[in-house]
Every structure is written in C-alpha cells, then in structure tokens.
Amino acid sequence: MATDISQRIKNLYPTFSKGQKKIANAILNDYHKAAYMTASKLGLFVGVSESTVVRFANELGFEGYSEFQRAVQELVRTKLTPNQRIEFTKQRMGTGDILEKVMESDINKIRYTLDRIDRDTFSAAVDAILSAKNIYVMGARSTEPLALVLKYNLSLIFDNVKFIQPTSTAEVFEQMFSIGHDDVLIAFSFPRYSSKMVSAVKYANQSGSNVVVFTDSEISPLAKYATCLITAQSDMASFMDSLVAPISIINAIIVEITRRREKEITERFDRLEKVWDEYDVYTKY
C-alpha cells in the first residue's frame, strides 16, 4: 500500500457503510486492541459480521484479511510509546513459557521474510556492495547494532568501508558529504523510524549513490529513496524490537560476498591470521 492504513481509512471514510465505519473507528482509535484479532473476533468487537470485516479489508485494497491485519500491526509498532509497548506485549504474550513464545515468534518472522524477499533485489544489493568505490553503513538507535555487525564483517574483507556515526544530523552529513554515484549507502531503519535515517538516505539518493535500505515494508519513509529495498519482518518484543530477520539477511549477504570473491577473501584472511597470531589477538586456550 502506498500510504499507511490509518491515512487510507481517513481518505475513504465518507464512502463507508455504517458497519464499515464501526470497523474504521476501531482501527483508528483502538488499533492496539484490534491488531491481533481474527476477522471473527474483530467483528464481535465492533458488532458486525466476519464477512463485513473481510469485505472492509478488500475495500481498502488488501488481498485478504491477513494482509490487512499486518498493516494494522504495523500501525501499532509505529504509534505506541515504549510504556504502551510493554503493556501491549504483556497482554499479547500472556503467561506461560515466555522463552518458547518469543523464540517461536522469531522463527516465524524469519520464515515470513524468507517467503517474501525478492531474490533479484538481494542479488542487486550484493552487486552494489561489490562494485562500490566506498561502502557507507548506517543505523540509528535500535538499528545501530545491525549496522555495526555488517560494518565489522565487511571491514574484514574490504578496505573501503565507512561507518557513519549516528550523532547530530549535521555531523551525519559531514561524514557522508563526499558520497557519490560510485558509492553505496547501506541503511537500517525499523519502526519507530529515525528522522535522521530518512534524511541520510534522501541525501545519498540525491547524490546519485546506490542506496540499499533494510526496513520493514514498502510504506517505510525510507523506501522511496532506495535503489535496493530489502524488507524484513520485525515485531515488538516488549519496548524493544525483534530484529532477527534482518540479521539473518546480513549473514546471507556476507556468505554470498564470500562465495563470489572466495579466492581473494581467503588470501586476505591468511594474512589476517598471521597478524592475529603475532599480536595475540585471540587467546590460545
């Protein structure tokens, strides 16, 4: 969808029937309650039939209720404050074996992402990295660790990797001031989106650079500036986000780069091993 579901509902609200307006009001005002309801439960919640709920999803342009539900869940993740997230997660997870529930949820996120990721886009992202004069990597707030993991591993095999420190907006632009059409920016941003990240990818795009964006959906504010858009499912895990799916894609990128440049990377690690041994980088235990 080109716009988030709340805006879509507001735009179409005057055209809705009385029953559809009940559903629309629930999504706009009680989205945190509706996000994980089945179609039948949402119907009971607002006082309409299950078929009315399904037709409402279709009216908004969704292929089915499950696609509609994911859009409502996206609304939850982008709107709730940290304290609201904690309360919402407590209600959603309930009691019992929390470890199993969270890890099963993470497994489902990776499977969902794998089923939907575009292989051509993945390959194009690897091409952009391999052909870049300079590789810029950036993440802010909760996604900074993702960027650091990728930067660390890329730095072991390339000399042209630059990590953009997510400091003030002015300093971000100073660090990427020279980015151009021979370069690539790899940017990470998931809800709640960082305005600093949006500004950075916009600048890189306008500078003619390749822009590989890791985010959660095509309606992410970073998506329109991407030359390679890699979407991965994330979800709330209390006040933090579960980012297992994008980290798995990072692993796949490193493996694919190694496969394509195996000979030169192997030679590079032979030299690195000698340095690590000479300076006791790793324990001999």
Residue 105 corresponds to which tokens in the numbers above? 């949820």
Q: How big is the CA angle at 234 (ends 131 and 100), to the nearest 5 degrees?
A: 125
From the list 163, 117, 1, the residue with the least C-alpha distance to 125 is 117
CA 15 to chain centre: 33
pLDDT band at 273, cuts 50/70/90? very high
Q: For 132-184, how does the pLDDT look when each residue is reduced to its tens digit (9 = 90+)?
A: 999 999 999 889 999 999 999 999 999 999 999 988 888 999 999 999 999 99
pLDDT band at 2, cuts 50/70/90? very low
Asked if pLDDT for residue 249 goes beyond 90, the answer is yes
CA 265 to chain centre: 29
For the range 225-230, what are the long-range contacts, defined as Cβ-Cβ under 8 Å and sequence gap of 24 or more? 225/198, 225/201, 226/201, 227/124, 227/128, 228/121, 228/124, 228/125, 228/128, 229/121, 230/117, 230/121, 230/122, 230/125
pLDDT score of 242: 81
Domains parsed from the chain with CATH numbers: 5-113 (1.10.10.10), 115-277 (3.40.50.10490)
Percent of the chain with pLDDT over 90: 63
pLDDT band at 92, cuts 50/70/90? low
| Whether the model pTM is above 0.95 | no
Asked if pLDDT for residue 43 goes beyond 60, the answer is yes
Rounded distance, CA 272 to CA 157, Å? 10
Q: How far apart are the first and last CA of the chain?
A: 54
Contact 188, 160 (CB under 8 A): no
pLDDT score of 204: 97
Tokens 């499912």: give the residue. Answer: 233
pLDDT score of 114: 94
pLDDT band at 1, cuts 50/70/90? very low
